[in-house]
Amino acid sequence: MTHLAVIFTNFGPYHVARLQALANHCQRLGWQCTGIELARTEADYQWRVDLDHFLFKTISIVPDRPLEAIPFPKLGFWVWHTLDDLQPEVLVIAGYARPAMLTALFWSRQHRRPAILMSETTEQDFTRASIREGIKRTIVSQFSAALVGGKPHTRYLQKLGMAPEAIFSGYDVVGNERFHPDRIRSLPSPHPRPYFLSINRFLPKKNLSFLITAYSQYRKKAGATNWDLVICGDGLLRDDLEQQIRQLDLQEHIHLPGFLQQDELLPYFAHARCLIHASLQEQWGLVVNEAMAAGLPVLVSNRCGCFEDLVQDGITGFGFDPTDASQLTELMGKLSTGAIDAQQMGENALGHIQNYSPDRFAENLIAATNYALHPRSK
């Protein structure tokens, strides 16, 4: 029996949906699947996820403290001994930036077990320095295969030296059925007027000040067809954003309901008219998957990792330059005035996102596993 262990930083709703699909596929193959998280909680993502009643075994290496409270030597020791006890035949690792993930990779090399990289890094994420890229090439060479988000992630791994045939796509998916319009449309509306929706951590890279500026310009032009703007989330920039909203006298039209768990977000998806994702830098942008699964058209920054794979311009939504507010202002106006058929675009988005499902994650991870286990077929 092939034993596949998948290690994430911590489990959120996305990870659970992927692991459930993987466990279903493994069960049919007679394989064993174990999900490992470094810690039950992490400062950046305050998810609440129930891990009971799943087909797969789960292990929380640090079950009772935030990840940030554990010094690396101790965490690395626990990772190593967890893998010693588990003895997986294949280890699937989410990234290589954290020392704990490099520890898992080193364990796989020491025990001659193939490791599969899960990656959503693109070349445009950061300024690339030749020395760092050389180190990354060395690290990537230790993996037998990879599962990535989409096209820009595939290109970057190839540039780091991984063979094209060793790279599989389908990493960045959500539980689409949870957001389906037929399931959520009966939820009570959280807002009385039509609205654009944006969901983010309040960080500089999320470009929310730009979004508010573009929305302000939109309100001056759209007249009676104006839609409100709801920005869900929280973070360090909240005070600055609230001040900007007051300065623009938009308190009645821009709404900040705060950080919401996935269940609490469903009514917002159900009744929004369009999602806007304006990030300056985003490795993927899973909120775009969620919005499309809810049948919404999407306006997405062309610097988001998901843009190339998910946004079919004029069909599922539109891309825009996240430094040019006039582009976004114009697109908002066309949607709210009916110059663009938002309903048809949302239906197109719903159809397209079915190609990015947890089953695709599972199928392609199993394909990557078979590739890693059978080097003679490469």
Residue 376 pLDDT exceeds 70: no
Q: Summarize pLDDT for 24-67 with one digit per residue, the tens.
A: 999 999 999 999 999 988 776 666 777 666 777 899 999 888 88
- The mean pLDDT of 343-365, rounded to a whole number, is 97
Q: How many CA within 13 A on the CB side of residue 116?
A: 30
The pLDDT tens digits for 118-141 are 999 988 776 677 888 899 999 999
Tens digit of each residue's pLDDT (9 = 90 or more) over 135-172 = 999 999 999 999 999 999 999 999 999 999 999 999 99
The pLDDT, as a whole number, for residue 64 is 84
Residue 99 has pLDDT above 80, yes or no: yes
Cα four-point dihedral sign 30, 31, 35, 36: positive
Q: What is the 3-state secondary structure (H, E, C) of 168-193?
A: EECCCCCCHHHHCHHHHCCCCCCCCC
- How far is Cα 92 from Cα 116, in angstroms, rounded to an integer? 5
Give the separation between CA 141 and CA 138, rounded to whole angstroms: 5
In contact, 81 and 238? CB cutoff 8 Å:
no
Each domain of the chain, given as residue ranges in start order, spans 3-173+357-377, 177-353
The predicted model gives 330-342 an average pLDDT of 94
Same fold, 3-173+357-377 and 177-353: yes
* pTM of the complete model beyond 0.85: yes
Fold of 3-173+357-377: Rossmann fold (3.40.50)
Q: Please say whether the beta carbons of 229 and 329 come within 8 A.
A: no
The whole-number pLDDT of residue 222 equals 78
Q: How many residues does the chain have?
A: 378
Superfamily, domain 177-353: Glycogen Phosphorylase B; (3.40.50.2000)
Q: Identify the pLDDT of residue 53.
A: 67
